[in-house]
């Protein structure tokens, strides 16, 4: 069983690598970003609320996100493991995830951190925005999201580093190159 988190700045390839890791390890990938975007598209009450924050480049409030993750981690398909993508993003969410996992007498096995330089991330995200037509990706919003990542999310890595479960992988390179680095790093971390 593998219970893991993938973390890194916006545009570092988390979603792409999460899908590949999920397939190779046979665990379900849980992306809060995908869940939010699906709700926005369907204009659910959660989606309407989340869209306001996403369009401004802000994080969706913890109260909404925590409840969503708690419900998702109760599903049957996560019993053999999971890969969280996009949560936790803040120190408060780390504590909430600890509580959620403790309810099932479990904890995270590994935190995979993808790394990349900010200017490369801006370039990647602007390219993705033009291809996908994403309203939450323009230069000002991207730079704002990167600042938020450094201010709020980077300390999450410090908490997990203190626990000795962080594995860092360079997220720059072809998708296949990064996947190979990730899988090699996870073998070492096991």
Q: Which residues are catalytic?
A: 14, 89, 128, 134, 145
Residue 124 counted as an annotated binding residue:
no
Write the DSSP assignment of 157-176 as a string of letters: HHHHHHHT-EEEEE--S-HH
Calpha distance 38→47 (Å, rounded): 8
Contact between 136 and 33 under an 8 Å Cβ cutoff? The reply is: no
Contact 94, 156 (CB under 8 A): yes
- Answer whether 13's CB lies under 8 Å from 125's CB: no
3 is in an annotated binding site: no
Task: Outline where DSSP puts E strands in 86-134.
Answer: 110-115
The reply to whether 12 sits in an annotated binding site is yes
- Residue 8 labelled as part of a binding site: no
123 appears as a binding residue in the annotation: no
Distance (Å, whole) CA 39 – CA 176: 31
58 known ligand binder: yes
- Please check if 20 is assigned to a binding site: no
Task: Confirm whether residue 82 is marked as ligand binding.
Answer: no
Residue 89 annotated as binding?
Answer: yes
CB hemisphere CA count around 73 (13 angstroms): 29
Which residues contribute to the annotated binding site?
A: 11-16, 32, 37, 58-60, 86-89, 93, 128, 134, 145, 173
Which residues contribute to the annotated binding site for ATP?
A: 11-16, 128, 173
Which residues contribute to the annotated binding site for AMP?
A: 32, 37, 58-60, 86-89, 93, 134, 145
């Amino acid at each position: 069983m593998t219970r893991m988190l993938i973390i890194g700045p916006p545009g570092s390839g988390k979603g792409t690598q999460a899908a590949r890791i999920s397939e190779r390890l046979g665990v379900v990938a849980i992306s809060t970003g995908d869940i939010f975007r699906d709700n926005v598209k369907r204009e659910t009450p959660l989606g309407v609320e989340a869209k306001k924050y996403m369009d401004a480049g802000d994080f969706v409030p913890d109260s909404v996100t925590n409840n969503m993750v708690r419900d998702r981690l109760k599903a049957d398909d996560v019993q053999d493991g999971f890969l969280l993508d996009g949560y936790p993003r803040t120190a408060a969410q780390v504590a909430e995830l600890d509580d959620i996992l403790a309810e099932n007498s479990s904890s995270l096995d590994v935190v995979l951190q993808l790394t990349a330089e900010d200017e490369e991330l801006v370039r990647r995200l602007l390219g993705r925005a033009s291809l996908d037509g994403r309203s939450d990706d323009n230069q000002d919003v991207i730079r704002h999201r990167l600042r938020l990542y450094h201010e709020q999310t980077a300390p999450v890595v410090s908490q997990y580093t203190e626990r000795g479960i962080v594995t860092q992988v360079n997220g720059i390179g072809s998708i296949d190159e990064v996947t190979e680095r990730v899988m090699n790093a996870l073998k070492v971390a096991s």
